[in-house]
Amino acid sequence: MNALASVDALMQALRDEGYLPDRRLATAVFLALKLQRPLLLEGEPGVGKTALAQALARALQRVLIRLQCYDGMEQREALYEWNYAAQLLHLRAAEAQGRAADMGAAEREVYQDRYLIPRPLLQALRAPAPGAVLLIDEVDRADEPFEAFLLEYLGEYQVSIPEIGTVQAAVTPVTILTSNRTRDLHDAVKRRCLYHWLDYPERERELAIVRAQVPGASDALAQQVALFVSRLRSQPFVDAFQRAPGIAESVEWAKALVALDTLVVDPEVVSDTAGILFKQREDVAALTAALASELLQPEPEAS
Ligand SMILES: Nc1ncnc2c1ncn2[C@@H]1O[C@H](COP(=O)(O)OP(=O)(O)OP(=O)(O)O)[C@@H](O)[C@H]1O
Ligand SMILES: [Mg+2]
């Protein structure tokens, strides 16, 4: 089925790739595809931002091109750089051939496409049909000049290269930006994107994800994991922690419990494996046996 036929079709296509979106996320992605707008995904760590772009690329059978952002990243790592060594060889050869009189021409020759090393943005613009999915991951880690540099790409799917001119997209790349919101992004970036806040999943969806990704877990164990983690993220428990576990942690935890041959989770197992749910010493300490036993209470029977 064509993933672009409807929101439902897209949801199914993502599910087929092992990614379980909720309807709001699928709608946001669907609209980004239909309107050909970049999609900015913000959310806590481990809620499936990067995984969405990966699954989408597979679902659309497009090549995934990833730009991992970090502080101090330079344009040449994102867009293109010149192959200096090859350019130098070209000039040497021109010199050796006695073309010294016309070194100006030789210098112009080195600014040709074949001496250009395309980096993710340029690769995405040039990707042949069916085009690319460009993942600009953790854009909040890059600095503000880099955000400003992205505007031309995000607004018009084109970039300007001084020696060559403007490069326009062969096929509009599907563009996903992710952010953990370690800082606010510039309004100009946000205006060019559709926006979606990716929340922790509801319990049923988390259960489905754990079941799908940890087939070795029994149904009872998967249920316990999903219930425990969803309670842990809810009031008042979540206040005890600095950072709640994401989906990534639930999946890891379920795998760990299977590896330990756990049949039923009890407070002792929780405390032994707390380092999988939490990555901060204070949070690990806050997950006391008393709290764990409260979180492990079975649900009251529905009457
Ligand atoms: N909706 C989902 N369906 C299936 N698996 C999911 C889903 N969401 C998250 N996951 C699982 O959780 C893992 C972590 O997700 P991912 O790395 O995409 O999180 P993230 O939001 O990019 O986190 P970070 O901000 O730390 O980069 C994925 O490898 C995937 O296994
Ligand atoms: Mg990520």
Average pLDDT over residues 293-299: 91
Q: How confident is residue 127, by pLDDT bands cut at 50, 70 and 90?
A: very high
Ligand 1 center from residue 68 Cα (angstroms): 16
Average pLDDT over residues 173-193: 96
- State how far the Cα of 252 lies from the Cα of 236, in Å rounded to an integer: 24
Q: How confident is residue 285, by pLDDT bands cut at 50, 70 and 90?
A: very high
Residue nearest to atom 31 of ligand 1 (CA): 248
Average pLDDT, the chain: 94
Number of H helices, E strands in the chain: 16, 9
Q: How confident is residue 94, by pLDDT bands cut at 50, 70 and 90?
A: confident
- For 14-45, the pLDDT digits (tens) are 999 999 999 999 999 999 999 999 999 999 99
Q: How confident is residue 303, by pLDDT bands cut at 50, 70 and 90?
A: low
The bound ligand whose nearest atom lies closest to the alpha carbon of 140 is: 1
Average pLDDT over residues 198-206: 96
Q: Answer yes or no: is pLDDT of 126 > 90.
A: yes
Q: At how many degrees (to 10) do helices 49-60 and 7-16 cross?
A: 100
Atom of ligand 1 nearest to the CA of 201: 1
| Amino acid at residue number 142 | A
Which residues have CB under 8 Å from 2's CB, separation 6+?
9
Residue 193: CB atoms within 10 A of its CB come to 20
- Radius of gyration of the chain from its Cα atoms, rounded to whole angstroms: 25
Residue nearest to atom 16 of ligand 1 (CA): 48
Average pLDDT over residues 90-102: 80
Q: What is the pLDDT of residue 1?
A: 67
Q: How many CA atoms lie within 13 A of 241 on its CB side?
A: 25
The bound ligand whose nearest atom lies closest to the alpha carbon of 16 is: 1
Instruction: Show the ligand 1 pocket: residues with CB < 6 angstroms.
Output: 19-21, 43, 45-51, 178, 180, 209, 213, 247-248, 251
